[in-house]
Structure 1
Amino acid sequence: MSRYKVRKQALETLSNIENNPQNYYLIHYACGNFREENTISVIAVMNLKKQVSTSFSIKKTAEDLNINPQDISKNTLKIQKEMLESFNEFLIQNVKNVKWINWNMQSDKFGFEAIQHQSKVLNIKNPVTVSNSEQINLSHLLSDIYGPNFIDDPKMEKLAEYNDIDLSYEFKNGKEEAKLLNEGKYTDISLSTIRKLTIFNIFLEKAINNKLKVKSKWTDIYGWSPQGIYNAIKDKWWFAILTFILGTLIGHFFK
């Protein structure tokens, strides 16, 4: 598919998100080290219309089960099962006619498939399946709009920094969250996960308003096709003025 068509489809998706925010949820979750264990510590979601975060966490579930903080590590499987059952009930109520905007949640190691697998391991009956067609990878969406080199790796952190988003406030990367899990610092993990939803929301708002700062060259964004070059010129502020002037002159001479 040409660069023009890829970008056009991505912009249409972005427009749909802007016009129908009630049909879109942001989602992110935190877990342990993939190679060591599969504990899912927090799942956070936010409906773009309501702008309210909902989280399913080990800490909150332990409180519901009257399990003391010092006893969480001894009851992790029990707590996690209850937490994932609550999340599954949430999906049952909200999965219809919505799409889930995430950051690289498309693998069997990290994503809906991994959550579903862990749910089956814990003997949760009929865990809800979220298909790929119901998901939007925000990282891929931004790549389709601005080109694959829109920011350096790791893209989430670098894009936030490039757009002056404060990462000192609660944000932790995946490795740091896994370390916090081993240390039993569940509140810090929850705050980090919810903070990431806020960051994703800022990315979306800036992209919708054409304010997201990226490192792409214009050829990365528009490509070299005639249509792409035309779109690059059309996006310039002076193009509308030039078009208006030319239209006025043409109208004057061809009355």
Structure 2
Amino acid sequence: MIFDSTRSKERRAGLREASYILDSKSDVFAIHYSCESFNKYKSTTPRVTSVSIYNLITGEQRCFSIHLEAQIRSFDCDKLSSVELDASERSLLQKFFKFVKAHQGCLWVHWNMKNSKYGFDALSFRYKFLMQRSAPNVKMQYRYDLYVLLKKLYGPNFETNEYESKLLALTQRNCLAIRGMMIGIQEADAFDRKEFQAVMESSQGKSEAIGLIVKAAGEKTLKVNASLRDIYGISPLGLILYVADNFVRISKLWKITIGVVGVIFSMWKFIY
């Protein structure tokens, strides 16, 4: 189409995807997990330390954490051995994948959980490594990467890398009342210092932030760093999309402008 552009096509695809997520008849979960440092182990996937799930519909959260499982087993969290860590992680993953199995067909919104280094495949690998059997699968068609979705909606410059995390920067920009969020390496360091509660709270905060951000994006109320050109591109269709997205605001501005012009015209007639 001569009046179309790549940017307009990407944004329309993003809007359809966001609408599908928010209009889903099934439960929609935002998910984030924390793990040990990728530099700690050279020959295996890092240990999973917590998994947090946020329900976009109800706002309820579920969190599976190593230190909670350790406490259930009466382990000393200040002196967890490798065997005890394995047992606690095994229990964490058992409960998480039991939740997954009970919610087949639901949608999962995540942030860059896209490969075997960090993602659903990494979680499945840790489960198989510890349990010696395959984990229940979250099918690809039910996974939605919020990072990719935001690039479709607003372009690659949707946020700065302030705080070394676009997710944290978006949370700050939109004044989301979420505390305790850390970047991945900080979570790993906190776990090594046995600050388990802080790690869990960071994971919980991120899953909630992901849920709130995807809702705001779908409702077209999300504040981003991108310019209008980044978002809509340069094309007649881009202009139409901008007007459609901002029709109420433009209408109000137009009414104010007409009112001001009317006042000025009346004053001019009175004076002259």
TM-score (structure 2 length as normaliser): 0.81
**150, 153, 159: which is aligned to 2:170?**
159
Q: Does the Cα contact within 8 Å between 1:22 and 1:47 map onto a contact in 2?
A: no
Superposition RMSD in Å: 2.0
Q: Identity rate of aligned residues, in percent?
A: 25
Q: CA deviation at 1:152?
A: 0.9
2:117 corresponding residue in structure 1: 109
Pairing 1:86–2:82 present:
no
Q: CA deviation at 1:11?
A: 0.9
In 2, the alpha carbon distance for the partners of 1:60 and 1:229 equals 52
Task: Summarize the Cα distance change of 1:23–1:13 in structure 2 as closer, same or farther, 3 Å threshold.
Answer: farther
Alignment map for 1:33-44 (pairs within 5 Å)? 33-37=37-41, 38-44=46-52
In 1, the alpha carbon distance for the partners of 2:140 and 2:184 equals 23
Task: Summarize the Cα distance change of 1:165–1:48 in structure 2 as closer, same or farther, 3 Å threshold.
Answer: closer
In 2, the alpha carbon distance for the partners of 1:188 and 1:194 equals 10
Alignment map for 1:44-123 (pairs within 5 Å)? 44-74=52-82, 75-94=84-103, 96-123=104-131
Q: CA deviation at 1:92?
A: 0.9
Is the partner of 1:45 in helix, strand or coil?
A: strand
CA deviation profile, 1:186-210 (whole Å, cap 9, x unmatched): 1111111101122222212322332
Equivalent pairs counted in the alignment come to 240
Is the partner of 2:54 in helix, strand or coil?
A: strand
CA deviation profile, 1:19-69 (whole Å, cap 9, x unmatched): 237431110000011121311100011221221110111011112222222
Computing the radius of gyration from Cα coordinates, the structure with the larger value is: 2
- Letter of the 1:212 counterpart: L
Q: CA deviation at 1:151?
A: 0.8
- Letter of the 2:18 counterpart: L
1:249 corresponding residue in structure 2: none
In 2, the alpha carbon distance for the partners of 1:206 and 1:124 equals 41
Task: Mark the runs of 5 or more structure 1 residues left unpaired by the alignment.
Answer: 243-255
Q: Does the Cα contact within 8 Å between 1:151 and 1:214 map onto a contact in 2?
A: yes
Alignment map for 1:104-143 (pairs within 5 Å)? 104-143=112-151
Task: Give the 4+ runs in structure 1 shifted more than 6 A.
Answer: none
1:231 corresponding residue in structure 2: 241
Is the partner of 2:15 in helix, strand or coil?
A: helix
Is the partner of 1:156 in helix, strand or coil?
A: helix
- Letter of the 1:79 counterpart: S
Q: Does the Cα contact within 8 Å between 2:29 and 2:211 map onto a contact in 1?
A: no
- Letter of the 2:49 counterpart: S
1:11 corresponding residue in structure 2: 15
Is the partner of 1:122 in helix, strand or coil?
A: helix
In 1, the alpha carbon distance for the partners of 2:66 and 2:117 equals 20
Q: Does the Cα contact within 8 Å between 1:4 and 1:223 map onto a contact in 2?
A: yes
- Letter of the 1:158 counterpart: A
Q: Does the Cα contact within 8 Å between 1:81 and 1:124 map onto a contact in 2?
A: no
TM-score (structure 1 length as normaliser): 0.86
Q: Which has the higher contact order (CA 8 A, sep 6+)?
A: 2
Task: Mark the runs of 5 or more structure 2 residues left unpaired by the alignment.
Answer: 255-272
- Letter of the 1:82 counterpart: S
